[in-house]
Amino acid sequence: MRRVLALICATGVLAAAPAVDAAVNPQVAGLQVALRAHGLYLWQIDGIAGPRTTAAVHAFQREHGLPVGLASTRTRLALGPLGEPLFGTRTLRRGDFGWDVSVLQFLLIRRGVYSGALDGYLGRQTAAALRRYQRLMHLAADAVVGPRTLAAIVRRDRVPVRTHQVVVAATAHVVRAGDTLTAIAASHGSTVAALAEANGIDPAKPIVIGQRLRLPVATAAIAAPRLDVPSMLDAWSVRLGVDPHLVRALAWMESGFQTKIVSSAGARGVLQTLPSTRRYVVDVLAKHPIPNTVDGDIEVGVVYLRHLLEVFHSNAELALAGWYQGELAVRESGVYAVTKPFVANVLALRARM
């Protein structure tokens, strides 16, 4: 169950290699991480406000009875602890959690100084990467995003700051010279048939310069079935008598609520349980078959966490240490130095998840 630092990198959740792209808005990366926590955005965190991001925003807004459109302040507040504050609106320090930390991690990845998870938590690894960035920029390496570091980041990475809404992909397109339905559909992740249906037009007839076409991004972008991972975690936590906040925090640190990642050690799923752990849970703890599904993987993880809490007399620190380095190792050697940051990070997130 030992957490592999690069496990999220292998799934494409990390940003692409360092580059400055005019289409990239780092604030959008924070939005994508927040939407991922709700199970609505399942693609690369790339900072591009494309159709998939727009569709996820609109789906979230409809679910919560919010006006469908921009990712406004109301929308961001509804997203929870990862929905605020925007990058550039506060000084960032070790232990902070939120949208702005996700943006910082995204930027540090693009600059090649960070290879960890986009989890919105400014822990030890993110702080070390920030120091590396500060040294490269000839700034005081204090792991604090104060005025000077913020100015350097904004200038170098063109991060828009001091705004209360995030612009996502357009919902309409005004026809320009040379446009065709095929080209418009391709550039907005849609199809000619979907465009024609959304606008009540005949795809065989020409379009006119200045014509306003409605883009069906909200229905075209999300193809994968949605799994409400937080609710699934909560359901098993309540059923098995484990603190749901602790389970959510552990799952977020392990996988960012992703369901399909596999670490180099073979740990799988939302809670990153090893095959040996699954066998132990099925054969010894649960004593019944558990399906190899997302729900089953969560059951395995929560059953095992409950076992560790029982073994260590409800001491969450020791239980998490047992999760990270193994129950026997904790009993024989205590908590390893390398384990302590992981435990501290999960406990810090418990009150915020």
9-157 adopts what CATH topology?
Muramoyl-pentapeptide Carboxypeptidase; domain 1 (1.10.101)
Record the tokens describing residue 262, joined without a space. Answer: 């596999």
**Are 120 and 99 spatial neighbours (Cβ–Cβ below 8 Å)?**
yes
pLDDT value of residue 169: 53
pLDDT value of residue 314: 95
User: Which phi and psi angles does 205 have, rounded to 5°?
Assistant: -95, 155
User: Based on the number of CB atoms within 10 Å of its own CB, is 130 exposed (0-12), middle (13-18) or buried (19 or more)?
Assistant: buried
- Stretches where the chain sits below pLDDT 50 are 2-20, 218-224
**Are 21 and 268 spatial neighbours (Cβ–Cβ below 8 Å)?**
no
Ordered by start, the domain boundaries in the chain are: 9-157, 172-214, 229-350
**What residues have CB less than 8 Å from 234, skipping those under 6 apart?**
244, 247, 248
Total Cβ atoms within 10 A of residue 139: 18
Q: What is the distance between the alpha carbons of residues 320 and 316, in angstroms, rounded to a whole number?
A: 6
- Residues of the chain above pLDDT 90, percent: 46
**Beta bridge pairs of residue 214:** 172
Predicted TM-score (pTM) of this structure: 0.66
Record the tokens describing residue 275, joined without a space. Answer: 């095959």
**Beta bridge pairs of residue 268:** 262, 273
**What residues have CB less than 8 Å from 118, skipping those under 6 apart?**
8, 13, 14, 15, 29, 33, 45, 102, 105, 106, 109, 256
- 172-214: CATH class: alpha beta
pLDDT value of residue 350: 86
Tokens 């943006």, residue located: 103
Record the tokens describing residue 267, joined without a space. Answer: 């740990």
Q: What is the distance between the alpha carbons of residues 348 and 343, in angstroms, rounded to a whole number?
A: 9
pLDDT value of residue 5: 31
- 229-350: CATH class: mainly alpha
**What residues have CB less than 8 Å from 136, skipping those under 6 apart?**
111, 113
Rounded to whole angstroms, what are the CA distances from 232 to 244, 293, 308?
10, 12, 20
Q: Which residues of 283-294 are buried (b: 16+ CB within 10 A; e: fewer)?
A: eeebeeebeeee
**What residues have CB less than 8 Å from 318, skipping those under 6 apart?**
308, 312, 330, 335
pLDDT value of residue 101: 96
pLDDT in tens, 127-184: 999 999 999 999 999 999 999 999 999 888 878 776 556 655 556 778 888 788 887 7
